C-alpha cells in the first residue's frame, strides 16, 4: 500500500509546537516511502514552473523555485539530523538505500532543461527587471547553483555526470558509517588503579559513566574514541603503553582491512570528484571547488597557508625541544612520540603557568557555560533563550529553547527555536556541528518562517547526579558551535536559499570562530565561570594564567591544522588521482612538508570526515584559517573600542555578519562591518606567530 498523509507522519502536517517533527512517533520505515512521495511532489512543482506559459520573470521563476520543495526539504533535513545525532542500524540501512536516489533527485532538479532555460533567461535579463539587491543576489546564486551542478553540460555528458554524483553520494555515506563503526566498536577498558594512574577525578568519572552506558559491570572505566574521552586520557594517563594503544586506535579509524576500510572508498571518491571537475572544464577538483569561494584560486589558499607554515614549524620544533628537556629532567624517555606530546605538554603547562586542567574544570560546568552563551547573546544581540522542558526532542539529552527578542518594539517576539544536544553517545557521530530543521525566510508564500537550529557537541557526560565539567577547549567548542547557531537563528533575509549559514564556505566559519572570543573576556569568566561546589567566581589570578597560557602549544596546534589543510589541497589538486594509495600518498606528502612525526595532523585521510563524508569541506579545510583572518580582525574592532559589548559595534555585527545570510557578497558585508578589508596580522599575533 502506498503511503499517504494519513498513514505516514512525515507526509502529514505537523500539528506540533513550533512545527517541530513528532519525534516520538517517527519510525525509520517512514522515510523511504516519504522521500519517494516528496520527490514526486517536488518534481511536479518544478514541472509546473517550467511549463508556465507566462514569460520568465523573478516571481514566477526564481522566487517560485526558491519556494518549491518545502515538503521534501522538511523530510531531508530531519533525516540528516537523525542520521548524524541518533542513528540506528535501521536508519543506516535507509541512509544507504536512499543515497543514490537522493542524488538522482538533485540531478533531476539541476538538469531540468526547461526549468533552467527560464532561470537562464531571467539571469540574462536581470538588469532589466526592477529587482532589489536581495532579489538580484538570489537570481545570481540560483543560476550559479544550476551551472555548477551541470545544467550547462551537453546532453551526452549529463547522464554520466548524474551517475558520478550518485556514486559519490553512496560512497560518502559509506565513509561516514565506517568511521562511526570504528568509533563505536572501540573501548579501552581500565579495571585497576595501575591502569587508571594519573587520571584526575573528572576523567575517571566520565570513563565510569561510559562503562555504565556500555553495560560493563563492576568498577570498570572505559575510554572511548569520542574526542572528549580520548584527549583527556592522552593528556593525563601515566601509562605510556596505554596511551600508545589509545592513540593508535584514534589515528587508524577507517584504516583497517575488512568491511569498514575507508582507503578504497577515499580513493574512489577522489577519482570521481576529478571526473566531476573535468566535466566542468577544470583540470582538478580543487580548482572546481574554489571557483565558488572567497579565495577563488589555489594560489590564494596556498599564499595564506604558507604565511603560517614556516613559523609554525619552527615554533613546534622549539616546543618539541622543551618537551624533550622536560622528559629528560623527569628521568623519562626523552624521545617524544605522538602519544606523548599532550602528556608532556600538560606537565610543562602546569610547570610554566601553574595551570592544569584539573584545576580549571570545576569552574566550567556545562550548565553555567550554556548560561554564558545565552548571556553573551542577550548582551550583544538582544535575544533571550527560554527553555521549554515540556517539549521533547529526538533524545532525552536534547533541550529545546524558544529564542525571543528581549528589547525594543519587538520585545517578546519569537525569533526562532534552538535545540541543544551536548553529550557523546553511541549512535551519534563524533565532532561538533550545527544543523537545521528549517531555515528562516520572510518573502515566500508561507510568510515569516522561523528557523529551527540545532547545535551538537560530544562532551563526556557526568555521572548520574553529578555535573558535566568542561575543559577550556570544550568550552571554546561550545562557544564555536553556538556562533554557528546564532548565524542560523539571527538570519533576517527574504529567501530560503540565502538564509543563515548557506554562505560561501570560507565565510561560514567567521561567525563561529568570532564568537569564541567572548569566552576569553574576563567579565564573562567572572560572571559565569563559578566553582561547581562553592559557587565562587574564578579568581583573577586563574584568569591571568589562562590568558598567559593562551599561546602555549600553538606551534603544535597550528602545524596539525595547517598540515591537514595542505594535505587536503594536495589530495584534491591531483590531475589524475585514479589508483592512488591514500596512505602512501599521505605519508609522502607529510614527509615532503616536513611534518614532525611527534606532531602529526588533525585528521588522517582514512577518517577525514570533513573531506569524505560530505563535499562541504573538500578542498576547503583551509577555511578555518581563512575565517580566522576575518574574525581576528573583526574582534580587533571591539578591542579598539575598549568594550567587548560595545552596543554600536554589536548592532553592526548583527546586521552585517550574523543576520545577513548570503544576501550580500561576503567580502562586501565584512567591509560594511569593519570599514575595510581584513588584514592577516591580528591572526598571526593571536597564534603567537608574529612578534
**Domains of the chain, residue spans:** 17-181, 186-251, 260-339+552-621, 362-548
Cβ–Cβ under 8 Å, residues 622 and 286: no
Whole-number pLDDT of residue 688: 81
Give me the pLDDT at residue 156, please: 86
Report the candidate in 647, 360, 391, 392 with the shortest Cα–Cα distance to residue 519: 360
pLDDT of residue 1: 40
d(Cα 434, Cα 186) in Å, to the nearest integer? 26
Q: How far apart are CA 254 and CA 266, in angstroms?
A: 10
* Rg, C-alpha atoms of the chain: 25
Q: Return the HEC string of 351-386.
A: HHHCCCHHHHHHHCEHHHHHHHHHHHHHHHHCEEEE
CA-nearest of 415, 384, 421 to 400 is 421
- The answer to whether 462 touches 470, Cβ cutoff 8 Å, is no
Instruction: Find the largest Cα–Cα distance for the chain.
Output: 84
Alpha-carbon distance of 147 to 386, in angstroms, equals: 43
* pLDDT at position 24: 94
- Quick check: 669 and 656 in contact, CB under 8 A? yes
pTM of the model: 0.94
Q: Do the strands 414-423 and 188-190 form a parallel or antiparallel pair, or are they unpaired?
A: unpaired
How far apart (Å, rounded) are the C-alpha atoms in residues 488 and 512?
Answer: 11
Residue 469's DSSP bridge partners are 365
**Tell me, what's the pLDDT at 502?**
97
| C-alpha span between 499 and 72 (Å, rounded) | 17
At the topology level, CATH places domain 362-548 in 1.10.1370
Residues of the chain with pLDDT under 70: 1-6, 691
| 3-class secondary-structure state, position 308 | helix
Q: Residue 379: its pLDDT value, please?
A: 98
**In CATH, which of 3.40.50.300, 1.10.150.120, 1.20.1440.230, 1.10.1370.10 is domain 260-339+552-621?**
1.10.1370.10
Catalytic residues: 481
Task: Please tell me the distance from the alpha carbon of residue 225 to that of residue 231, in angstroms, as a whole number.
Answer: 9
Give the three-class secondary structure for 330: coil
3-state DSSP assignment of residue 469: strand
Helix (H) or strand (E) segment spanning residue 587:
helix 582-593
Single out the residue of 634, 614, 631 nearest to residue 623, CA to CA.
631
Tell me which long-range contacts 245-252 makes (C-beta under 8 A, separation of at least 24): 245/188, 246/188, 246/339, 247/338, 247/339, 248/339, 249/186, 249/188, 249/225, 250/225, 251/338, 251/600, 251/604, 252/604, 252/606
Residue 221, burial from CB neighbour count under 10 angstroms (0-12, 13-18, 19+): buried
Number of helices and strands (H, E) in the chain?
27, 9
> Could you say which architecture CATH assigns to the domain 17-181?
Orthogonal Bundle (1.10)
Amino acid at each position: 500500500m502506498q503511503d499517504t498523509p494519513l498513514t505516514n507522519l512525515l507526509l502529514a502536517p505537523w500539528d506540533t509546537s513550533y512545527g517541530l517533527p513528532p519525534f516520538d512517533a517517527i519510525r525509520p520505515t517512514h522515510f523511504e516511502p516519504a522521500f519517494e512521495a516528496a520527490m514526486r511532489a517536488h518534481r511536479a512543482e518544478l514541472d509546473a514552473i517550467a511549463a508556465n506559459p507566462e514569460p520568465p520573470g523573478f516571481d514566477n521563476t526564481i522566487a517560485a523555485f526558491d519556494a518549491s520543495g518545502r515538503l521534501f526539504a522538511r523530510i531531508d533535513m530531519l533525516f540528516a539530523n537523525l542520521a548524524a545525532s541518533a542513528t540506528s542500524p535501521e536508519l543506516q540501512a535507509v541512509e544507504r538505500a536512499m543515497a543514490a536516489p537522493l542524488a538522482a533527485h538533485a540531478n533531476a532538479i539541476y538538469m531540468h532543461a526547461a526549468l533552467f532555460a527560464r532561470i537562464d533567461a531571467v539571469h540574462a535579463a536581470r538588469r532589466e527587471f526592477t529587482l532589489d539587491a536581495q532579489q538580484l543576489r538570489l537570481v545570481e546564486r540560483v543560476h550559479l547553483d544550476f551551472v555548477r551542478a551541470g545544467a550547462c553540460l551537453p546532453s551526452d555528458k549529463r547522464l554520466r555526470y548524474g551517475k558520478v554524483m550518485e556514486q559519490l553520494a553512496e560512497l560518502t555515506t559509506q565513509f561516514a558509517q565506517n568511521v562511526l563503526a570504528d568509533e563505536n566498536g572501540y573501548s579501552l577498558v581500565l579495571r585497576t588503579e595501575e591502569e587508571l594512574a594519573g587520571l584526575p577525578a573528572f576523567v575517571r568519572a566520565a570513563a565510569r559513566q561510559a562503562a555504565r552506558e556500555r553495560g560493563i559491570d563492576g568498577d570498570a572505566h572505559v575510554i572511548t574514541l569520542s574526542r572528549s574521552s580520548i584527549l583527556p586520557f592522552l593528556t593525563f594517563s601515566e601509562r605510556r603503553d596505554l596511551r600508545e594503544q589509545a592513540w593508535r586506535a584514534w589515528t587508524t579509524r577507517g584504516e583497517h582491512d575488512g568491511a569498514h576500510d575507508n582507503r578504497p572508498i577515499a580513493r574512489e571518491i577522489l577519482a570521481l570528484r576529478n571526473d566531476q571537475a573535468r566535466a566542468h572544464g577544470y583540470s582538478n577538483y580543487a580548482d572546481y571547488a574554489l571557483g565558488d569561494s572567497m579565495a577563488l584560486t589555489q594560489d590564494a589558499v596556498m599564499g595564506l597557508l604558507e604565511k603560517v607554515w614556516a613559523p609554525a614549524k619552527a615554533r613546534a620544533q622549539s616546543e618539541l625541544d622543551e618537551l624533550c628537556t622536560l622528559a629528560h629532567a623527569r628521568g623519562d624517555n626523552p624521545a617524544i612520540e605522538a602519544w606523548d606530546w599532550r602528556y608532556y605538554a600538560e606537565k610543562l603547562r602546569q610547570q610554566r603557568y601553574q595551570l592544569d586542567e584539573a584545576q580549571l574544570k570545576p569552574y566550567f560546568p556545562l550548565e553555567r557555560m550554556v548560561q554564558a552563551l545565552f548571556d553573551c547573546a542577550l548582551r550583544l544581540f538582544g535575544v533571550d533563550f527560554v527553555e521549554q522542558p515540556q517539549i521533547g526532542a529526538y533524545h532525552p539529552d536534547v533541550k529545546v529553547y524558544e529564542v525571543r527578542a528581549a528589547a525594543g518594539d519587538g520585545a517578546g517576539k519569537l525569533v526562532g527555536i534552538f535545540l541543544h544536544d551536548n553529550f557523546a553517545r553511541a549512535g551519534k557521530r563524533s565532532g561538533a556541528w550545527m544543523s537545521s530543521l528549517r531555515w528562516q525566510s520572510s518573502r515566500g508564500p508561507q510568510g515569516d518562517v522561523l528557523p529551527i537550529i540545532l547545535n551538537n557537541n560530544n562532551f563526556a557526560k557526568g555521572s548520574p547526579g553529578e555535573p558535566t565539567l568542561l575543559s577550556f577547549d570544550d568550552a571554546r567548542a561550545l562557544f564555536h558551535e553556538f556562533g554557528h547557531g546564532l548565524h542560523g537563528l539571527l538570519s533576517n533575509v527574504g529567501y530560503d536559499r540565502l538564509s543563515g549559514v548557506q554562505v560561501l564556505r570560507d565565510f561560514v566559519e567567521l561567525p563561529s570562530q568570532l564568537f569564541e572570543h567572548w569566552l576569553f573576556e574576563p567579565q564573562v569568566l567572572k560572571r559565569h565561570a563559578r566553582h561547581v561546589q562553592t559557587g565562587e567566581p574564578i579568581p583573577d589570578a586563574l584568569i591571568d594564567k589562562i590568558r598567559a597560557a593562551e599561546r602555549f602549544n600553538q606551534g603544535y596546534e597550528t602545524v596539525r591544522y595547517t598540515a591537514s589543510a595542505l594535505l587536503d589541497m594536495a589530495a584534491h589538486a591531483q590531475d589524475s588521482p585514479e589508483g592512488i594509495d591514500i596512505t602512501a600518498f599521505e605519508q609522502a606528502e607529510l614527509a615532503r612538508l616536513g611534518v614532525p612525526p611527534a606532531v602529526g595532523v588533525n585528521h588522517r585521510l582514512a577518517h577525514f570526515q570533513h573531506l569524505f563524508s560530505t563535499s562541504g569541506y573538500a578542498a576547503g579545510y583551509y577555511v578555518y584559517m581563512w575565517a580566522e583572518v576575518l574574525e581576528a580582525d573583526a574582534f580587533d574592532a571591539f578591542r579598539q573600542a575598549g568594550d567587548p559589548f560595545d552596543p554600536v559595534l554589536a548592532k553592526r555585527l548583527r546586521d552585517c555578519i550574523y543576520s545577513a545570510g548570503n544576501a550580500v557578497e561576503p567580502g562586501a558585508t565584512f567591509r560594511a562591518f569593519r570599514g575595510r578589508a581584513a588584514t592577516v596580522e591580528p591572526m598571526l599575533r593571536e597564534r603567537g606567530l608574529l612578534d
